[in-house]
């Protein structure tokens, strides 16, 4: 389970954030901030309040992730000092002193910058870690450690899929016949670790993105996931193997939890052995290194130095990343701001420890989960964004291809009185907008409009009614939820039909989650698209640039199209020619708008469409036509 918690499932969150951020930062020239990760999904909206919200959430997540580490680390450091000098008590006061000592060192480091303090401290930490690991490797049985390493990696590869999907489903029921279920184990270990990893993902992701310029995707993955995992596994197998060996030897020596020497509260080992399963979490490391005889005290001191420096470099790196996020990606944020965030981390860690009292570790774990688990939603969107970014870069996805006439969140980024009103209407009556869209996409002669609206309305309001009568009829609300899923499924089919009709990139899974999570916005989007499906002259159409006309009308036709060819060479080139007017009708003045549909734009070949003159001659009966070649 240790390898599972510290293996692919942990490091992958750093890879996703770091790879996506490095890709959009160095390949697309976007600011080195978390909001840029969402550019493949929401485009320029990252520069509005949505991007601000992402960065604020990332700052908070990073803050509590680093504070959790500070809090947990200060407990172990305090215990280490107590082992070396019994006069130094394990107390909250001493732990607060340790936090602020680390914070002071981190503040000095972060002020000196990335290439001086942070870099040198990181190198010292790595050197000390290697020094301790090599001593442990050579002092004990090296062949045993290597055997444990090879065997553990084999077991990990064998069980990684099963463990990845294991959720302790039956243990959490608490009804094991022998009564030995561990209902809280998954929450206290796996969920905590994952929340902790995710809370660190904005910080570590941005940090490794900053130092990865010029790398290929393969090099990036090998450097940020493969190599760290293999190194971490080696460390765990050396000292974990020695810990397990000590536990087995202690059992053979009849050392129990109640033993005076080597037991739960013992200050001295029995023949160099402790019963580790009885010892506290903060004691175990020092118990293991104490078995090295005369080197035990020396290694304890080196270990304390390493732990302190590791948390110093974690704090200063986290402060620098938070500085960059709050400075909108500025690689060199103001010094005063760096000091502010470093001190804020120390104050937050102190507050969490004091608030938790004797259960300070529980408070730290809870905060890590509380900040990390919600960020999982953003990580899921980052996975989609990374997929789309590489497909665009490879030419498999045309960013200038057919799209919905309005995005899901346009109402929030660019609200108008009409759009806000329609979204509010769709909140309480989504059947109206969705019914209109279904009527238009299915063909106006197939079924009356009211049929589509009625089906949607019955499902939506039946859910509300069944929820309301739950106090009178037990469990009837579950029927309502099932009906609501049917409503979402029908709405998904409407949106997917629009997507197929106009060749809009995406899939039905994406449509389902869009409808389920944001059904008022999805309803407005579907209705808006079908209302504007034949309106080529849109300011937001991505393939053309339309200059403003003096009279305020949007221009096209004789004013011309400015073709924008993307880097992959794929584009929809338009060639408009005006046919002669019908006999007896006046000539056009040349300022016309071709009324092409998005479906025509997505199909190559020649298309003939009615063209509206600026004087609205088409509405008055004058018929002009536009020939458009899409190649």
Q: Is residue 164 part of a domain?
A: yes
Task: Using the predicted structure, report yes or no on whether residue 25 has a pLDDT greater than 60.
Answer: yes
Q: Kind and range of the H or E element at 609?
A: strand 605-613
Q: Is residue 434 part of a domain?
A: yes
Q: How many residues does the chain have?
A: 631
pLDDT score, position 1: 79
Beta strands in 265-388 (DSSP E): none
Between 182 and 448, whose confidence is greater?
A: 448
Task: Using the predicted structure, report yes or no on whether residue 346 has a pLDDT greater than 50.
Answer: yes
Q: Is residue 326 part of a domain?
A: yes
Question: Which range is least confidently modeled, 108-122, 258-272, 402-416?
Answer: 108-122
373 shares a domain with 243: yes
570 shares a domain with 440: no
Q: The tokens of 41 are what?
A: 């999904």
Task: Using the predicted structure, report yes or no on whether residue 626 has a pLDDT greater than 70.
Answer: no
363 shares a domain with 447: no
Alpha-helical runs (H) found in 85-226: 92-112, 119-139, 142-165, 185, 192-210, 217-221
Q: How far apart are CA 461 and CA 480, in angstroms?
A: 9
Last residue of a domain, one of 356, 390, 424: 390
Q: Are the C-beta atoms of residues 494 and 501 closer than 8 Å to each other? A: no
pLDDT score, position 403: 85
- Out of 50-54, 104-108, 398-402, 581-585, give the one with best mean pLDDT: 50-54
pLDDT score, position 617: 42
Q: How far apart are CA 154 and CA 539, in angstroms?
A: 58
pLDDT score, position 190: 84
Q: pLDDT tier at 572 (50, 70, 90 boundaries)?
A: very low
Pairing of strands 592-594, 624-630: unpaired
Q: Is residue 546 part of a domain?
A: no
Between 591 and 551, whose confidence is greater?
A: 591
Q: Is residue 63 part of a domain?
A: yes
Task: Using the predicted structure, report yes or no on whether residue 555 has a pLDDT greater than 70.
Answer: no
Across 356-376, average pLDDT: 71
611 shares a domain with 511: no
Q: How far apart are CA 311 and CA 305, in angstroms?
A: 10
Q: Are the C-beta atoms of residues 18 and 370 closer than 8 Å to each other? A: no
DSSP letter string, 469-500: TTTTSTTHHHHHHHHHHHHHHHHHHHHHHHHH
Task: Using the predicted structure, report yes or no on whether residue 410 has a pLDDT greater than 60.
Answer: yes
pLDDT score, position 105: 86
pLDDT score, position 629: 65
Across 604-614, average pLDDT: 55
Between 554 and 336, whose confidence is greater?
A: 336
Q: Kind and range of the H or E element at 306?
A: helix 295-326
Between 387 and 562, whose confidence is greater?
A: 387
Q: Is residue 165 part of a domain?
A: yes
Q: How far apart are CA 161 and CA 8, in angstroms?
A: 11
Q: pLDDT tier at 74 (50, 70, 90 boundaries)?
A: confident
417 shares a domain with 386: no
Quick: pLDDT tens for 379-403.
999 999 999 999 888 888 887 778 8
Q: Are the C-beta atoms of residues 268 and 261 closer than 8 Å to each other? A: yes
Question: Which range is least confidently modeled, 246-260, 491-505, 590-604?
Answer: 590-604
599 shares a domain with 521: no
Task: Using the predicted structure, report yes or no on whether residue 466 has a pLDDT greater than 90.
Answer: yes
313 shares a domain with 235: yes
430 shares a domain with 361: no
Across 505-529, average pLDDT: 93
Q: Residues near 127 by Cβ (< 8 Å), separated by ≥ 6? A: none
Q: The tokens of 192 are what?
A: 């905590």
pLDDT score, position 588: 43
Q: Which residues is 238 bridged to in the sheet?
A: none
516 shares a domain with 564: no
Q: What is the CA radius of gyration of the chain?
A: 32
Task: Using the predicted structure, report yes or no on whether residue 577 has a pLDDT greater than 50.
Answer: no
Q: How far apart are CA 547 and CA 561, in angstroms?
A: 9
Task: Using the predicted structure, report yes or no on whether residue 483 has a pLDDT greater than 70.
Answer: yes
Quick: pLDDT tens for 274-284.
999 898 888 88
- Per cent of the chain over pLDDT 70 is 82
Task: Using the predicted structure, report yes or no on whether residue 352 has a pLDDT greater than 70.
Answer: yes
309 in the Ramachandran plot: left (φ > 0), alpha (ψ -120 to 50) or beta?
alpha
Q: How far apart are CA 508 and CA 494, in angstroms?
A: 10
* Full residue range of the structural domain in which residue 207 is found: 2-80+92-390
- Per cent of the chain over pLDDT 90 is 33
Question: Torsion angle, CA of 274/275/279/284, rounded to 10 degrees?
Answer: 50
Question: Torsion angle, CA of 412/426/501/411, rounded to 10 degrees?
Answer: -10
Task: Using the predicted structure, report yes or no on whether residue 452 has a pLDDT greater than 90.
Answer: yes
- Mean pLDDT of all residues belonging to the chain: 81
Q: Is residue 397 part of a domain?
A: no
Q: Is residue 536 part of a domain?
A: no
pTM > 0.75: yes
Q: Are the C-beta atoms of residues 23 and 389 closer than 8 Å to each other? A: yes
Quick: pLDDT tens for 281-326.
888 898 998 888 788 889 989 999 998 888 888 887 888 888 888 8
Quick: pLDDT tens for 187-225.
878 888 888 888 888 888 988 898 888 899 999 999 999
pLDDT score, position 93: 86
Between 221 and 564, whose confidence is greater?
A: 221
152 shares a domain with 104: yes
Give whole-number Cα distances, 127 to 117, 123, 309, in Å.
15, 6, 11
Across 434-446, average pLDDT: 84
Across 415-421, average pLDDT: 91
Across 410-431, average pLDDT: 92
pLDDT score, position 533: 73
Provide the number of structural domains found in the chain. Answer: 3
479 shares a domain with 619: no
276 shares a domain with 145: yes
Across 367-373, average pLDDT: 75
Q: The tokens of 158 are what?
A: 């064998």
- Out of 351-360, 430-439, 503-512, give the one with best mean pLDDT: 430-439
Phi, psi (degrees; rounded to nearest 5) at 547: -70, 150
Q: pLDDT tier at 536 (50, 70, 90 boundaries)?
A: very low
Task: Using the predicted structure, report yes or no on whether residue 156 has a pLDDT greater than 70.
Answer: yes
pLDDT score, position 606: 60
């Amino acid at each position: 389970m240790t390898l599972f918690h510290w293996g692919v499932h942990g490091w992958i969150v750093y890879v996703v954030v770091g790879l996506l951020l490095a890709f959009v930062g160095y390949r697309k020239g976007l600011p080195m901030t978390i909001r840029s990760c969402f550019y493949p999904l929401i485009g320029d909206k990252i520069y509005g309040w949505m991007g601000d919200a992402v960065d604020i959430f990332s700052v908070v997540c990073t803050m509590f992730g680093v504070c959790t580490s500070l809090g947990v680390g200060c407990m172990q450091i305090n215990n280490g000092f107590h082992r070396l000098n019994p006069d130094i008590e394990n107390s909250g006061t001493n732990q607060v002193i340790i936090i602020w000592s680390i914070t002071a060192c981190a503040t000095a480091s972060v002020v000196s910058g990335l290439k001086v303090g942070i870099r040198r401290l990181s190198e010292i930490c790595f050197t000390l870690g290697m020094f301790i690991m090599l001593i442990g490797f050579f002092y004990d049985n090296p062949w045993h450690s290597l055997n444990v390493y090879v065997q553990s990696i084999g077991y990990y590869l064998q069980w990684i899929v099963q463990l990845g999907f294991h959720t302790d489903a039956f243990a959490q029921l608490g009804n094991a016949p022998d009564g030995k279920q561990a209902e809280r184990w998954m929450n206290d270990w796996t969920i905590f670790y994952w929340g902790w990893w995710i809370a660190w993902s904005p910080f570590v992701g941005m940090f490794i993105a900053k130092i990865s310029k010029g790398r290929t995707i393969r090099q990036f993955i090998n450097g940020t996931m493969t190599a760290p995992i293999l190194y971490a596994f080696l460390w765990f197998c050396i000292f974990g193997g020695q810990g397990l060996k000590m536990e087995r030897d202690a059992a053979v020596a009849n050392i129990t939890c109640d033993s005076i020497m080597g037991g739960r509260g013992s200050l001295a080992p029995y023949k160099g052995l402790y019963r580790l399963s009885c010892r506290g979490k903060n004691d175990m490391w020092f118990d293991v290194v104490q078995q090295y005889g005369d080197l035990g005290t020396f290694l304890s001191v080196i270990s304390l130095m390493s732990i302190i420096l590791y948390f110093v470099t974690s704090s200063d790196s986290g402060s620098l990343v938070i500085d960059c996020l709050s400075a909108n990606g500025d690689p060199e944020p103001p010094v005063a701001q760096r000091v502010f965030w470093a001190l804020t981390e120390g104050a937050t860690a102190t507050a969490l420890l004091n608030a938790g009292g004797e259960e300070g570790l529980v408070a730290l774990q809870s905060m890590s989960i509380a900040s990390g688990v919600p960020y999982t939603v953003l990580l899921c969107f980052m996975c989609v964004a990374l997929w789309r970014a590489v497909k665009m870069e490879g030419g498999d996805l045309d960013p200038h291809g057919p799209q919905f006439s309005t995005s899901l969140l346009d109402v929030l980024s660019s609200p108008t009185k009409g759009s806000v009103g329609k979204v509010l209407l769709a909140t309480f009556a989504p059947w109206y907008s969705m019914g209109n869209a279904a009527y238009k996409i299915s063909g106006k002669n197939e079924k009356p409009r009211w049929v589509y609206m009625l089906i949607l309305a019955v499902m939506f309001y039946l859910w509300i009614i069944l929820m309301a009568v739950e106090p009178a009829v037990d469990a009837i609300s579950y029927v309502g939820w099932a009906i609501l899923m049917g409503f979402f499924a029908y709405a998904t089919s409407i949106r997917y039909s629009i997507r197929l009709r106009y060749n809009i990139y995406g899939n039905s899974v994406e449509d389902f989650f869009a409808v389920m999570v944001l059904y008022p916005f999805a309803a407005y989007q579907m209705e808006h698209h079908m209302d504007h499906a034949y309106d080529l002259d849109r300011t937001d159409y991505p393939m053309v640039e339309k200059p403003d006309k003096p009279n305020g009308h949007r221009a096209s036709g004789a004013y011309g199209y400015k073709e924008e060819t993307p880097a992959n060479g794929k584009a929809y080139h338009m060639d408009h020619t005006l046919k002669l007017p019908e006999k007896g009708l006046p000539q056009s003045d040349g300022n016309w708008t071709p009324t092409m549909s998005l479906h025509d734009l997505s199909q190559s070949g020649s298309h003939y469409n009615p063209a509206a003159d600026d004087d609205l001659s088409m509405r008055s009966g004058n018929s002009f036509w536009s020939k458009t070649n899409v190649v």
